[in-house]
Structure 1
């Protein structure tokens, strides 16, 4: 009986030593923290960055300015950058227009929808989001669909347009 109690105590202590975590996997948490690492590395540099892969890996373009067409040869995003973003990061520095609006269509066209990203915010996986129209109605998926972006005032973003809302 003593061996059983001793074994139970040892097993209990071993289980107590195992950290309890959120439902996400350790790998997912480590991957997610890469966006935070990028934010901490660059904030506040005044830039908006888009990445080809989820979790803020493989930057495709970055810069402090607007870009009306990610698929042309001007601006911070060029030719193959259009419709290739899987994650985004705003390391703007808090100027008046410190929110980034991303659009499905070139030239900041609302017809395909848009979303806004606040200062210091990121989205690690755009496949979880859809663009919305100015009234908050869902449009097409965001993953590999951004075609333009511009810096705007937060007042220019509808309540349902913020990235982070499904």
Structure 2
């Protein structure tokens, strides 16, 4: 999967084949200021879903998933945590991700 700082997959932030449970640390594919900076994402992975989280650790209740079949989201400003507007926009709010089975997702990116 890869993430971008701008809409329409511009402003490359990073790419990951595996999990990265803290985009703001100095380990993994995403580092430092990458946390809370994504405005668009792509899933070209071998697994079905990539699950993005509001917090670090890859286990926050606030998540959204992107299927491989969907492929990409050009604009995260109209995607919301758990698919609910009340929980806030996913735009500039992703702090970690992990690969999961579809059954682990209750909200999908649109």
TM-score for both structures, normalised by structure 1: 0.62
**Higher relative contact order structure (alpha carbons within 8 Å, sequence separation ≥ 6):** 2
Correspondence for 1:115 among 64, 80, 83: 64
- 1:156 aligns with 104
For 2:51 and 2:96, locate their aligned partners in 1 and report how far apart those are by CA, in whole Å: 8
Q: For residue 127 of structure 1, give the secondary structure of its aligned residue in structure 2.
A: helix
Correspondence for 2:75 among 105, 117, 125: 125
- 1:20 aligns with none
After the TM superposition, list the runs of 4 or more consecutive aligned residues in structure 1 that deviate by more than 2 angstroms: none
For 1:103 and 1:57, locate their aligned partners in 2 and report how far apart those are by CA, in whole Å: 21
For structure 2, the residue ranges without an aligned partner over 5 or more in a row are: none
- 1:73 aligns with 26
- 1:140 Cα deviation from its structure 2 partner: 2.1
- 2:6 aligns with 53
Higher-Rg member (1/2): 1
- 2:90 aligns with 142
> Is 1:90 the equivalent of 2:37?
no
Deviates more, 1:115-124 or 1:80-89: 115-124
Structure 1 or 2: more helix by fraction: 1
Number of residues of Structure 1 aligned to a counterpart in Structure 2: 108
1:94-131: per-residue Cα shift (whole Å, max 9, x none)?
A: xxx431000011112324x1000001411101011111
